[in-house]
């Protein structure tokens, strides 16, 4: 679907690319208010878990799981949050968000209060991406 | 863990029980502001996806998937939302929430604005539970 922003996101946010997996792309969220917040989204334009055949669904989940494990290892959060919503953008994308007891919003969901975006410098994005890449390659 | 409310929830909310699956319990949320909102939570007190062995993780996900498919078939939402958070209550519980374009909060996440709880009568809870049970048994 050429009018789907998620179908274009891998190219549009090239500076945030972490990994091209078999089923999914992994991208750092430009807003790093929650340090380590990543998107894991399918290469194919699909929407619901139950639209996938079982092998594809399980492969997607193993990739979501591997990224969550890498984020937990790198950022050492109190809890990982995993969200598959898609009300605004139905192309399947998982929000993987390391959560910390030191956050202003803890322990509430990330959407419970608005926040100003936290943008990093190019070098800071690159460093954070490299840490996650390394952990994904060598768990 | 005897002090975990989620370990006791299946017994505590006996009137909301939908199904005992191999890995998870399925319970209707008492707050039905979002019609069909269910919890799918593990029998075991576990927290992160990546703490499970691959077979258990995939079995949990297939149960989450089956419940989401049943909710979608019964309630015909515009989108299903799937959330695994656990910041307040780390015992693994999935929020499965049918979302509708007619809601006051659509298309925002369910946590983006507070709402008054919607409680049903006993008969209404029972009817809703029966619809979901039927669809789970006979997809």
Task: List the CATH number of the domain containing B101.
Answer: 3.30.428.10
- The CA distance from B9 to B99, in Å, is 24
pLDDT at B1 over 70: no
Contact (CB<8Å) A72/B48: yes
Tokens for A3, please give them: 């009018």
Residue A105 gets which letter from DSSP?
Answer: S
Q: What average pLDDT is seen over chain A? A: 97
Locus of tokens 């208010």: A33
Q: How far is CA B138 from CA A47, A105, B18, B82, in A?
A: 23, 42, 14, 22
CB atoms within 10 A of CB A92: 23
Contact (CB<8Å) A49/B68: yes
pLDDT at B18 over 60: yes
> Total structural domains in chain B?
1
Tokens for B134, please give them: 């039927």
Helix axes A54-75, A122-137, angle to 10 degrees: 120
Contact (CB<8Å) B61/A58: yes
CB A122 within 8 A of CB A15: yes
Tokens for A69, please give them: 């494990």
Q: Tell me the three state secondary structure of residue A89.
A: coil
Residue of A nearest to B77 (CA): A87
From chain A, the residues in CB contact with B88 under 8 A are 107
CB atoms within 10 A of CB B132: 21
- What distance, in Å, lies between the first and last C-alpha atoms of chain A? 34
Give pLDDT tens digits for A99-129. Answer: 999 999 999 999 999 999 999 999 999 999 9
Name the pTM for this structure. Answer: 0.97
Strands of the sheet with B79-84, listed across from one edge: A17-20, A24-28, A38-42, A93-99, A79-84, B79-84, B93-99, B38-42, B24-28, B17-20
Domain that holds residue B48: 5-137
Give pLDDT tens digits for B29-54. Answer: 999 999 999 999 999 999 999 999 99
């Amino acid at each position: 679907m050429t009018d789907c922003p998620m179908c274009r996101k891998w190219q549009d946010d090239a500076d945030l690319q972490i990994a091209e997996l078999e089923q999914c792309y992994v991208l750092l969220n430009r807003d790093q208010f929650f340090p380590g917040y990543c998107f894991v989204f399918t290469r194919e334009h699909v929407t619901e878990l139950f639209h996938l055949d079982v092998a594809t669904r399980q492969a997607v989940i193993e990739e979501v799981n591997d990224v969550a494990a890498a984020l937990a290892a790198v950022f050492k959060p109190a809890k990982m949050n995993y969200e598959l919503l898609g009300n605004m953008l139905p192309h399947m994308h998982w929000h993987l968000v390391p959560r910390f007891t030191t956050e202003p919003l803890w322990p509430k969901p990330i959407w419970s209060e608005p926040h100003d975006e936290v943008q990093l410098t190019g070098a800071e994005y690159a460093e954070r991406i490299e840490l996650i890449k390394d952990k994904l390659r060598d768990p």
